[in-house]
Chain A
């Protein structure tokens, strides 16, 4: 009994150690134009030995079994909605490595010796994940799957031997609408299931009302230089909330203009007159909010499993701004970074934060914005369609390097097969206003990896290694043809168009980060869906007419028009008509001879 107790005592600390392998953190970063970036990060480590022994504790069993069954070494799954406005919000959270293109994006390294084996496992994986996350991931078929060569590198630590026998597959579903049913399984995977800790702030109503939101799940093996390898499951939610919209009350959500005396005016405008003419600069007003306002609920303590060392909530805001935390919370300030404040929270108590407004100066002039100025990104990227009509089109990607260093990156597109790309039209042009106008296309595009689409079998994969000189804008263009499909291949809303997945940009120099463009809507020519029978009938009639005409000419005998022999049947019919005519003539003659009305004529015949 005593030995058993000592054994238990021995086990308890080890459990505590592994419990510390989970941590969660929420980073709040006010952005310009009354936007607020909320970055949730949940990270759980499980030792590989535990994982392989099916000893699931922090790692969700449902996902773990799928990964083991499909031989997945590393997995990245993204659910994204909206667009990151790099022009005003600056660099992306996590340097863009935790976001996907609009819709669902999935890439994974699978254990496979051959491509066929990889395809088989990929099918298993997508179907299983589809069930787990209530997303149409099972629609990631051969036409939406590519095998990137340059763009993605494994994030985890893999021994070279295993890496050689793995295959990277990448699939996108740009049409997928991310919604609450995807959030629920996401929260269920957390150790505290969204009941406590920062996850208790995640509410579908607010999350999917955001201007931009991205949910990410990353599974990767991490091998520290000493100690055993662990399997890391990282779940991330990034959302950009519109503070004004979030603060609107639930029961009265219609936005109304503020009363005149509350307006903040731009006094530098020549037409500015107090009380009469005003150029409103509302958006320049600093933010004020409380945690419960923007998330619709308060935070319910902390998750008991989380690492006590990591503060659960951090706010990035200049030190001049005042923040009030609820009772029991402890504010931590960092000497090396004075624009960050973190809060240690009591495990049991509800927690909220209050950010007060900046003091506006007495005469109504807007004060300083009171936020940490966003960093300028390494690269701006946008992509659009050019041309008109439903026959030909072009894609134009505008890539701007605002910095002083040349930027080198991989530009990757995964295009649907019905977009017939003409790679020979690919060209890179430096904008005329750039300093290095004379750079040729070959200097910009260093390398091309291209795998053309096959009708109904696979999509186009295009990877370009591009380098842009400092302060330059590059226009990357190529033409394509819109193919026409079988009428059963169109979706029910064919005239909405087809979604084309976002281009993925992976910068290599000066630092590694990811950028995704918006997805595009491709409008294909449509047949008339209402008349398959008519088309079949008309075409068949045309062919029958042509064939019948020719056949008649070929097999019939020619005779002179006057030599045509009378057909027996025709003769009979003619004879019958003749007979009828004769009879009628006889009857009318008889009637005429009887004279006057018809009645005597009848009597006459009866008398006969």
Chain B
């Protein structure tokens, strides 16, 4: 009886989310283009308008990578050229994006139902009983306004997010091969997910199925890395063949993320910094910013060895703040993962401050951007200030989650401290 109820409610949530998106697509035909033009949703590396331009050039035998507009992975081009022209048949593109969102939600459902958030191989949370149900997590993702906006805005980061979630879901369900393939796809599309590889390998190692078990961690990770490397090389080789035997696409898709040559405003911290930085320090600070992004991977993986899923969640949060071209789509992924840790909410300290800050930035961001770009009554500092607030709010969430995860771990040793004030020394 209860299974049919949950099945029904699952179908209800998924159908409701799909219907909501369809209605938005159909009832407001100008909304997708409006949202596509927003800097909060479309970044130079995920913009749908740029994808269309790349597609147009690709279909007219001009290499899209011989220009400064298109910075997305080559394999997206044949995928989208299969679809009917978006100008005449926008519904097919809309359906594709809705499908991708539903798939991501399904992956989240699997992740939540696996119970990894509350109980991993080496750690069992005393609070796991209160963890959120899969349906709730999926619904939180599907009905998150950030997710809906990036879906309607047709940002290609939806594909990356879906691949990341599937990589995690597959690692949890004991199929490391599929997980590695999925993370390779994500890395191929956006590059930064390659940094998720270490915690993902740990997660897959912890959750191996008994049938094909590899006990040696070194052997397992070598195999996993080999699979990922092979898969990525395969994808790159296909792209090489697809773009007329040229490696130009590497510099255009990944090089731009490394050098930040396109300074279009985003919600992140990089763009204004690299507009204003003195030319002689540009290379140095690019290295520092990237190093800063990479450095969390090792530290978190070691410190939170017992909870690789928590590491992945925290890393996704960090990437949503500090990667070169972040958008609200990355935030929506982090918030979806955050929903898995509902049992930790009571020990998080700044949820109110952090969420209020993010809401504040969400409403003021578009207003300040308008003041700068359209009204002319503000300058670039207005929008820059709001991106600072947004980043601070989000990083507060990330560090608060980290604190909660660590305290949860600590309370296993010190059950007497539950509910008491603690200090860190």
Given known A-B contacts A484-B263, A547-B292, A525 and B395 have beta carbons under 8 A apart: no
A526 at the interface (CB under 8 A from B): yes
Given known A-B contacts A456-B261, A528-B379, A556 and B68 have beta carbons under 8 A apart: no
Interface string of A368-394 (1 = CB under 8 A from B): 000000000000000000001111100
B136 at the interface (CB under 8 A from A): no
Size of the chain B interface, CB-CB below 8 angstroms: 64
A531 to B380, CA, bound (A): 11
A1 at the interface (CB under 8 A from B): no
* Majority-rule SS of B interface residues: helix
In the complex, chain B residues whose CB is within 8 Å of the CB of A422: 49, 52-53, 69
Contact A539 B392, beta carbon cutoff 8 Å: no
Closest-CB distance, A426 to chain B (whole angstroms): 9
- Within 8 Å by CB of A542, from B66, B269, B406, B423, lies B269
Who on chain B is nearest to A479 by CB?
A: B49
In the complex, chain B residues whose CB is within 8 Å of the CB of A546: 321-322, 391-392, 395, 398-399
In addition to A389-B374, A424-B52, A487-B276, 10 A-B residue pairs with Cβ atoms within 8 Å of each other are: A423-B57, A452-B66, A453-B68, A526-B380, A538-B384, A550-B318, A553-B402, A553-B403, A553-B406, A558-B424
- Within 8 Å by CB of A535, from B272, B374, B407, lies B272
- Within 8 Å by CB of B69, from A420, A484, A547, A555, lies A420
Contact A539 B272, beta carbon cutoff 8 Å: yes
In the complex, chain B residues whose CB is within 8 Å of the CB of A424: 52-53, 55-56
In the complex, chain A residues whose CB is within 8 Å of the CB of B56: 423-424
Size of the chain A interface, CB-CB below 8 angstroms: 56
Contact A453 B67, beta carbon cutoff 8 Å: yes
B238 at the interface (CB under 8 A from A): no
In the complex, chain B residues whose CB is within 8 Å of the CB of A390: 372-374
Given known A-B contacts A526-B380, A556-B424, A558-B424, A486 and B68 have beta carbons under 8 A apart: no
Q: Which residues of A contact B (CB under 8 A)?
A: 388-392, 417, 420-424, 448, 450-456, 481, 483-488, 525-528, 531-532, 535-536, 538-539, 542-543, 545-547, 549-550, 552-561, 563-565
In the complex, chain A residues whose CB is within 8 Å of the CB of B398: 546, 550
Given known A-B contacts A391-B373, A422-B53, A483 and B269 have beta carbons under 8 A apart: no
Closest-CB distance, A209 to chain B (whole angstroms): 35
Contact A452 B62, beta carbon cutoff 8 Å: yes
A454 to B60, CA, bound (A): 18
Given known A-B contacts A455-B262, A488-B279, A539-B269, A554 and B406 have beta carbons under 8 A apart: yes
Contact A561 B62, beta carbon cutoff 8 Å: no
Report the 10 A-B pairs with minimum CB-CB distance, sorted nearest first.
A452-B67, A424-B56, A546-B395, A556-B424, A561-B421, A532-B276, A389-B374, A535-B276, A455-B68, A549-B399
In the complex, chain B residues whose CB is within 8 Å of the CB of A527: 272, 275-276, 379-380
A525 to B381, CA, bound (A): 12
A539 to B392, CA, bound (A): 10
Partner-contacting stretch, out of B20-28, B186-194, B198-206, B296-304: B296-304
Contact B264 A484, beta carbon cutoff 8 Å: yes
Interface string of B293-331 (1 = CB under 8 A from A): 000100110010000000000000010011000000000
Contact A532 B402, beta carbon cutoff 8 Å: no
Closest-CB distance, B135 to chain A (whole angstroms): 31
A309 to B379, CA, bound (A): 66
Closest-CB distance, B274 to chain A (whole angstroms): 7
Closest-CB distance, B391 to chain A (whole angstroms): 6
Contact A554 B276, beta carbon cutoff 8 Å: no
Contact A560 B417, beta carbon cutoff 8 Å: yes
Given known A-B contacts A453-B67, A553-B403, A545 and B395 have beta carbons under 8 A apart: yes
In the complex, chain B residues whose CB is within 8 Å of the CB of A454: 66-68
Interface string of B392-419 (1 = CB under 8 A from A): 1001101100110011001000100100
Contact A486 B263, beta carbon cutoff 8 Å: yes
